[in-house]
Chain A
Amino acid sequence: RKEVEQDPGPFNVPEGATVAFNCTYSNSASQSFFWYRQDCRKEPKLLMSVYSSGNEDGRFTAQLNRASQYISLLIRDSKLSDSATYLCVVNKFGSSNTGKLIFGQGTTLQVKP
């Protein structure tokens, strides 16, 4: 089982639609969760951190479900500019407690006019 799993998509939605992505993680000890956005062959950019209580940033809402070990990203009122790949990222602590981030393979979103 992969440490972080995402549905690769693509998700094709019309402008104005609401779309949701889920991501599951295997390490129950994970403490930090993030969503990154990556445009085609460009660097990943932090979209938002995911907090236990859930958090919202404009049209974007992120939620964490520790019991089921998944995080979600909801995008409301989709814009053409939201077309990108969304990476789910979870931290992992090694035996020496060094910590590292594990990146999912990403979910591709295409917003159509």
Chain B
Amino acid sequence: EAQVTQNPRYLITVTGKKLTVTCSQNMNHEYMSWYRQDPGLGLRQIYYSMNVEVTDKGDVPEGYKVSRKEKRNFPLILESPSPNQTSLYFCASSKRGYYEQYFGPGTRLTVT
């Protein structure tokens, strides 16, 4: 089954404790992206990757890191999480950046 997977689905952590949210796709897509979704603000892009080893900032990159060492994986790293990073996070992939994107199930992160 073609899909995008994310782990964990739910995470509660404390300020400053480094965490990684994994994202994997099995559709051989070149483009992958991370979004956060907050009430009243819609989906905002954090980082994206056009292909392996090619990443770039989205609209709200502060406090986040990413890497793309393999085509299928695109982890999101929060080196020192803060409460304002409490949000619902989605990973997405597509053939190209302007093609339709397919989303993972989401990760609900709470930073206390």
Contacts and interface: CB of A to CB of B under 8 A. Distances in A.
Interface of A: 31-32, 34, 41-46, 49, 87, 91-93, 98-101, 103-106
Contacts, number: 53
A89 to B, nearest CB: 8
Given A44-B90, A98-B50, A100-B48, A31 B100 contact: no
B81 interface: no
Nearest to B91: A43
B78 interface: no
Interface in B79-112: 88, 90, 94, 96-106, 108
Given A32-B100, A103-B42, 5 more contacts: A42-B105, A43-B106, A98-B56, A100-B48, A106-B42
Contacts of A43: 90, 103-106
